[in-house]
A and B are shown apart, each in its own frame.
Chain A
Amino acid sequence: MTDPAEAVSLVGPPDLRARRSSRATTSMIMTGLMVAAVVAILIPLIAVMYSVIARGAGVALESFPDFFTKDIPALSRRAGPGMGPAILGTLLVTGAATLIAVPLGVLGAVYLHEYGGHHKFARTVRFMAMVMTGVPSIVMGLFIYIMWTMRFGYSAFGGALALACLMLPVVIGSTEQMLRLVPTQLREASYALGATKARTIVTVVLPAALPGIVSGALLAVARAAGETAPLLFAVGAAKAFNPHLFSEANTALSVQIFSSDLAFPAAESRAWGAALTLVLLTFLLTFVARVFTSRFALKR
């Protein structure tokens, strides 16, 4: 039950004595405003997608697949395709970040849910993970710059560390939620067969929660792939291919968009092409995550 006094304090109780028609009109107007809000949220999505496709598709598809494989022109004003190094860089940085953050995050969540529970240490970690989710990405970027880049220089790996720090609390949160959905009976059945706790977790609990864990991780990856600020400090903005994870400045799609010299039409259209590629990449990851979620929902 909600406290009626509180309703009064906030908006006043509905006056049921007022004329029915005027009350119905008010309700209709408010419903109309809700619909207007829905329209208002759709406009920017449609407008952004329209711009990205209209201005990016041309350069991305012109003499396909050059845009995805060729070098970025060294001079901004030179026309022509090329975001290959940035695509490689994004995949390299995001992939390495995933390899660091997902195992750590899943194990951390396993501790929180399967071992820690309401233990004080577990509660502290849960709280701090929540705090860490709110750390602005640029702060994480500067942190990695101080810890890694100042010692070892620009590299894709530095960017991966920064993204991993941003992904870790998200993966922990989503994985713990999924572990909560695994029925206790499954664990008990496994214990009854003589399995140890670790074996139960690895062979029973994690497989049961797997689709949900994958889905949560993919959403975290999708967010990370679009990050720019932390990469500026750790990865650099090279223009040539760099397949090495640990050495030399690298680049990424997001960094190229941010640092393109928009005064030149050629650079601008390459930026739109890069934006289109990046949006498609994040949407694809989100879509695959959805597929995993819906499969999990069927199992439940």
Chain B
Amino acid sequence: MQLLELRGKTQRADTAFRWISVGAAAVVLVVLALVAITMTQRSLPVLDKMGLDFFTSSRWVEAEGSYGALSFIFGTLYTAVIAIAIAVPISFGVALFITQVAPPWLKRPMVYVIDLLAVVPSVVFGLWGVLVLSQHFGLGRSFLTAGVILAIMITPIITSLAREVIETTPTADKEGALALGCTRWEMIQATVWPHSKGGLVGAVMLGLGRAMGETIAVALVIGSVSQITANPFAAGNSMPAVIANEWGEADDLHKSALIALAVTLFVITILVNLVATAIVQRSMKRSRGS
């Protein structure tokens, strides 16, 4: 009798634990749903007023109640593209060095050092960017300065993803290439590249997503000027930087416009991340299948 009772109790505890864990997992869904709903709701006032002009005009004047975000969208994409252009060759070079060239004893310390770069807070990069990079290297506050800072911040991320992808290249392929008389670079061309292509593209896109969402460092170095120009030495602005810089003094419509910027940013980064993940997973599946 007592045994039966005990069993009932433990069984109840077992079920309770299960449901608690389900609840904890569900928090993710609840938070994401709330983010999407509340943010969209709050951005409606400005979208009602501006309509599509919000995305196609670059006239952002609080006094007139005119909010066109085009120049900020441009700034976000432009700085992210500069960052990618700088970060990708360096990341791939470092990843190839670690996986193909470095002697075994050097690999681990190098990975540690690069991880260290990844945990330096973005505001510290921003401070360094505004007081050292922009002043002593003559870059000023500009798209380029923001792009360089972003490149420094996303290089460790792309490097570590690229390293993981490249490491899955089958040793047999590489040894086969070397046995045929390939030099090291030819071996990389013939085996590592084709094998890792998909994963590397995914890694770059994850870096791109990170670069577009970065706020603080960019807010400090980009110069806060609303303009669309291809000149990388010109000052500009980006969506997250505008939000951080203008939130404090914003009235209701202005706040709604800043939230609409955040929603736009949210949608763009999620799209980029989804595409990136899809590419990475497809290439992982393919390389596992072979």
Q: Do A and B come from one complex?
A: yes
Name A's B-contacting residues (CB within 8 A). Answer: 1-3, 6-7, 10-14, 16, 23-24, 26-27, 30-31, 33-38, 40-42, 44-45, 47-48, 51-52, 103-105, 107-108, 110-112, 114-116, 121-122, 124-125, 128-140, 142-143, 146-147, 165, 168-169, 172, 196-199, 201-202, 219, 222-223, 225-229, 232-233, 254, 257-258, 262, 268, 271-272, 275, 278-279, 282-283, 285-286, 290
Contact A136 B215 (CB under 8 A): yes
Complex contacts, A47 vs chain B, CB 8 Å: 128, 132
B22, B89, B116, B182: the one within 8 Å of A16 (CB): B182
Contact A10 B193 (CB under 8 A): yes
Alpha-carbon distance A236/B212, docked complex (angstroms):
24
Residue B227 CB within 8 A of the other chain:
no
Alpha-carbon distance A288/B235, docked complex (angstroms):
41
Contact A257 B190 (CB under 8 A): no
Contact B124 A136 (CB under 8 A): no
Alpha-carbon distance A26/B121, docked complex (angstroms):
39
Given A42-B113, A129-B28: A26 in contact with B183 (beta carbons within 8 A): yes
Of B44-52, B57-65, B67-75, B258-266, the stretch lying at the interface with chain A is B258-266
Complex contacts, A228 vs chain B, CB 8 Å: 121-123, 215-216
Given contact pairs A2-B290, A136-B262, A169-B28, a sample of 12 additional A-B residue pairs in the complex whose CB atoms are under 8 Å apart:
A14-B182, A44-B152, A51-B132, A107-B20, A108-B25, A136-B213, A143-B35, A143-B39, A196-B13, A228-B122, A275-B124, A282-B119
Alpha-carbon distance A233/B272, docked complex (angstroms):
26
Which residues in chain B, 85-126, are within 8 Å of chain A measured between CB atoms? Answer: 89-94, 96-97, 100-101, 110, 112-117, 119-126
- A23's nearest neighbour on chain B, judged by CB, is B183
Complex contacts, B83 vs chain A, CB 8 Å: none
- A285's nearest neighbour on chain B, judged by CB, is B119
Contact B27 A104 (CB under 8 A): yes
Contact B120 A268 (CB under 8 A): no
Complex contacts, A226 vs chain B, CB 8 Å: 119-124
Which residues in chain B, 111-162, are within 8 Å of chain A measured between CB atoms? Answer: 112-117, 119-128, 130-132, 152, 155-156, 159
Contact A122 B25 (CB under 8 A): yes
How far, in Å, is B257 (CB) from chain A's closest CB? 12
- Counting chain B CB atoms within 10 Å of each CB, the highest count among A37, A226, A254 belongs to A37
Q: Can you list 29 contacts pairing A with B, beta carbon distance less than 8 Å? A: A10-B197, A14-B183, A26-B185, A30-B184, A37-B93, A45-B120, A51-B132, A103-B24, A108-B27, A115-B21, A122-B25, A124-B29, A128-B29, A130-B277, A135-B213, A136-B269, A138-B265, A139-B266, A140-B35, A142-B262, A197-B14, A219-B119, A226-B123, A229-B244, A257-B123, A257-B127, A258-B216, A275-B127, A286-B116
- A44's nearest neighbour on chain B, judged by CB, is B152
Contact B190 A139 (CB under 8 A): no
- A282's nearest neighbour on chain B, judged by CB, is B119
Given A16-B181, A44-B117, A122-B25: A196 in contact with B35 (beta carbons within 8 A): no
Contact B189 A14 (CB under 8 A): yes
Residue B199 CB within 8 A of the other chain:
no
Contact B120 A286 (CB under 8 A): no
B18, B121, B189: the one within 8 Å of A115 (CB): B18
- B186's nearest neighbour on chain A, judged by CB, is A14
How far, in Å, is A47 (CB) from chain B's closest CB? 7
Complex contacts, B273 vs chain A, CB 8 Å: 130-131, 133-134
Main secondary structure of the interface of A (DSSP, over half): helix
**On chain B, which size bracket covers the interface?**
35 or more
Residue B220 CB within 8 A of the other chain:
yes
Contact B27 A168 (CB under 8 A): yes
- A26's nearest neighbour on chain B, judged by CB, is B185
Residue B10 CB within 8 A of the other chain:
yes
B38, B190, B220: the one within 8 Å of A143 (CB): B38
Residue B31 CB within 8 A of the other chain:
yes
How far, in Å, is B77 (CB) from chain A's closest CB? 14
Contact A146 B39 (CB under 8 A): yes
Contact B31 A142 (CB under 8 A): no
- B258's nearest neighbour on chain A, judged by CB, is A142
Residue B247 CB within 8 A of the other chain:
yes
Contact B128 A286 (CB under 8 A): no
Contact A136 B184 (CB under 8 A): no
Contact B117 A45 (CB under 8 A): yes
Contact A198 B14 (CB under 8 A): yes
Contact B93 A262 (CB under 8 A): no
How far, in Å, is A43 (CB) from chain B's closest CB? 9
- A110's nearest neighbour on chain B, judged by CB, is B21
A13, A26, A122, A258: the one within 8 Å of B190 (CB): A13
Alpha-carbon distance A147/B213, docked complex (angstroms):
21
